[in-house]
Amino acid sequence: MHTVHVTRHPEKGWQVTDSQGESLAVHDSQQASVAHARQWLETEGGGVVVIHGLSGRIQDRRTVVPAQRKGGGSVSSPRHPAARR
């Protein structure tokens, strides 16, 4: 499971960083950075977004579950109508 942080960028806006401190994105608003972090975690298997305030202190932690993949069913599944023929 991944952990990403949303923190104030030293020069502009808000940034999303991974657990090693590498910047994944920079946005004008904290809200946009949180949205980016959630989307990134959904595609990377889920994890936790740690949201920091202006002072750097943690304001919130949000768990993100992996995104559901489309077309997950199998045609050979016994519950699938086509498999009953």
Kindly state whether residue 65 falls inside one of the protein's structural domains: no
User: Quick check: 13 and 58 in contact, CB under 8 A?
Assistant: no
Give the structural domain span for 29. Answer: 2-57
Kindly state whether residue 80 falls inside one of the protein's structural domains: no
pLDDT tens digit string along 15-68?
Answer: 999 999 999 999 999 999 999 999 999 999 999 999 999 999 999 999 999 988
Nearest to 23 by CA among 5, 11, 38, 49: 5
Instruction: Tally the domains of the chain.
Output: 1
Kindly state whether residue 67 falls inside one of the protein's structural domains: no
What's the predicted TM-score (pTM) here?
0.78
